[in-house]
Amino acid sequence: MKNKPRNIEPPESPIIISLEQAIRERRSVHYFKRGSRIARAQWRTLFELTSLSPSSFNFQPWDFVIIEDEARKRALRPLCMNQQQILDAAAIIGVIGDKNPHRRDRAILQQFVNNGYFDTGVRDAYLGAVDMLYPDEGRRIEHAVGGASLAAMTLMLAAQGMGLATAPLIGFDVRAVTAFLGVPRDYLVVMLIAIGHSALHELPRQQRRPFQEIVHQEHFGHAPE
C-alpha cells in the first residue's frame, strides 16, 4: 500500500520546550544582546525546520538572506527607519517571496509522482492548472507573500524553541532594501526578521482581540457558539 503509515524516527531535537510554550513566550523583541552570534549548526537546524512549512503545491516560494556582517547591518539600519534591532541582533534575515511559482513546477510535480501521490496523467493536468491558479501578478504576489509568511512564522517559533529571540520587521524602505539584498525581479522582500539573544524583559504583550470577535460561526458576522 502506497500510503501505509511509517514509523519516522525524529532526529534528536534541539527544541526542548513545548509548542504551546514557544507560542506563548515568543515576542517581537526590541532589545537584543549585542555581539551575540548564531552557530552554523543552529542556522542549519533553523532552516531545516523552517523548510517544513506548508505551501501551495509544495512550491516553497521562499528564500532567505542572512546578514551577519557588522558593516552590512550598519548600512541596513538607516533603510529600516533606524530601528535599533537591526544593529543589535546577531543577524537579520531577509524573508524573500518567490513570485514565480512555476519556476519549479515540473520537478516538484514529478516528486508527487515519485512519492505515490498521483500518476503522470494527473501531473500533466496540474502543470496547466498551476497556470490558472496563478494567472496574474496579483495572484503571484499573494502566493509569494502568503507562502513566505507561513515560513517566517515557522522560523520564529523554531527559533523560540531553540532559545533564540526574533523580531519581524516591515518598517523599511522596500526599494532600498530590495536593492541592498540583491533580490532579483521575480522576488519580493516580504519582511525582515531580526534574530539573536534577548537582552531585557520586553514590555507586557499587547492585548489580543478576543475569541468572540475574531471567530465567526458558519458565516462571517455570526457570533460563535
Residues near ligand FMN (CB under 6 A): 27-28, 83, 168-171, 191, 205-206
Which CB atom, from 146 or from 168, has the smaller least distance to ligand FMN?
Answer: 168
Which CB atom, from 32 or from 57, has the smaller least distance to ligand FMN?
Answer: 32
- In angstroms, what is the minimal distance from the CB of 171 to ligand FMN? 3
- In angstroms, what is the minimal distance from the CB of 168 to ligand FMN? 4
Q: Which residue is nearest to ligand FMN (CB)?
A: 171
Using CB atoms within 10 Å of the CB of residue 43, give its burial: 0 to 12 exposed, 13 to 18 middle, 19+ buried.
Answer: middle
Pairing outcome for strands 187-196 and 62-67: unpaired
CA distance 98 to 141: 8
For 204, the grid coordinates are 507586557
Which CB atom, from 171 or from 184, has the smaller least distance to ligand FMN?
Answer: 171
- In angstroms, what is the minimal distance from the CB of 191 to ligand FMN? 5
Non-local (6+) Cβ contacts of 97 within 8 A are 61, 62, 141, 143, 144, 145, 147, 148, 187, 188, 189, 190
Which CB atom, from 133 or from 170, has the smaller least distance to ligand FMN?
Answer: 170
- Count of helices and strands (H, E) across the chain: 9, 4
Pairing outcome for strands 91-98 and 187-196: antiparallel
- In angstroms, what is the minimal distance from the CB of 142 to ligand FMN? 15
Which CB atom, from 27 or from 104, has the smaller least distance to ligand FMN?
Answer: 27
- In angstroms, what is the minimal distance from the CB of 152 to ligand FMN? 8
